[in-house]
Chain A
Amino acid sequence: MSELRELYQETILEHSRKPRNFGILETANHKAEGYNPLCGDHYTVFLDVKDGAIQNLSFEGSGCAISKASASMMTQSLKGKTTAEAEALFTKFHDLVTGHGNSAEEMGKLAVFGGVSEFPLRVKCATLAWHTLRAALRGEQQAVSTE
Chain B
Amino acid sequence: MSTVVKTPRQVHAAGGYDLKKIRADFPILHQEIHGKPLVYLDNAATTQKPLAVIEAIEHYYRRDNANIHRGVHTLSERATEAYEKTRVAAQKLINAASSSEIIFLRGTTEAINLVAQTYGRKNVGQGDEVLITAMEHHSNIVPWQMLCEEKGARLRVAPINDRGELILEEFEKLLSAKTKIVAVGHLSNALGTINPIQQIARMAHAHNAVVLVDGAQAAPRMAVDVQALDCDFYAISGHKLYGPTGIGFLYGKTKLLDAMPPYQGGGDMIASVTFDKTIYNRLPYKFEAGTPNIADTIGLGAAIEYLNQLGLENIEQHESELLGYATEQVQKIPGISVIGTARQKAGVLSFVIENIHPHDIGTILDHEGIAVRTGHHCAQPVMQRFGIPATARASFGLYNTREEVDALVRGVRKVIEVMG
A3: chain B residues at CB < 8 Å are 367
Most buried by B among A4, A7, A62: A4
A71 within 8 A of B: no
Bound CA–CA A4/B418 (angstroms): 8
Tell whether, in the assembled complex, residue A39 and residue B367 are in contact, meaning their CB atoms are under 8 Å apart.
no
B419 within 8 A of A: yes
Tell whether, in the assembled complex, residue B390 and residue A8 are in contact, meaning their CB atoms are under 8 Å apart.
no
Kindly provide the distance from the CB of B225 to the nearest chain A CB, expressed in whole angstroms.
Answer: 36
Q: What 1/0 mask marks residues of chain B from 328 to 369 whose CB sits below 8 Å from any chain A CB? A: 000000000000000000000000000111111001100100
Name B364's contact: one of A4, A39, A41, A121 (CB within 8 Å). A4
A40 with B419, Cβ < 8 A, contacts A119-B363, A122-B363 known:
no
B375 within 8 A of A: yes
Residues 355-393 (chain B) with a chain A CB within 8 angstroms: 355-360, 363-364, 367, 374-376, 380, 383, 389-390
Name B389's contact: one of A4, A8, A13, A42 (CB within 8 Å). A42
Tell whether, in the assembled complex, residue A39 and residue B390 are in contact, meaning their CB atoms are under 8 Å apart.
yes
Taking residues whose C-beta sits less than 8 angstroms from the other chain, chain B's interface range is 10 to 19
Tell whether, in the assembled complex, residue B419 and residue A8 are in contact, meaning their CB atoms are under 8 Å apart.
yes
A40: chain B residues at CB < 8 Å are 375-376, 380, 383, 389-390
A-B contact pairs, 25 of them (CB 8 A): A1-B367, A4-B364, A4-B418, A8-B418, A8-B419, A13-B419, A17-B355, A39-B358, A39-B376, A40-B383, A40-B389, A40-B390, A41-B359, A42-B389, A62-B389, A64-B357, A64-B360, A65-B356, A65-B357, A65-B360, A65-B419, A121-B363, A122-B359, A122-B363, A125-B359
Residues of B within 8 A of A (CB): 355-360, 363-364, 367, 374-376, 380, 383, 389-390, 418-419
Known A40-B383, A62-B389, A65-B360; further 12 A-B contacts with Cβ < 8 A: A1-B367, A4-B363, A4-B367, A8-B364, A39-B375, A39-B389, A40-B376, A40-B380, A41-B389, A63-B389, A64-B358, A122-B359
Residues of A within 8 A of B (CB): 1, 3-5, 7-8, 13, 17, 38-42, 62-66, 119, 121-122, 125
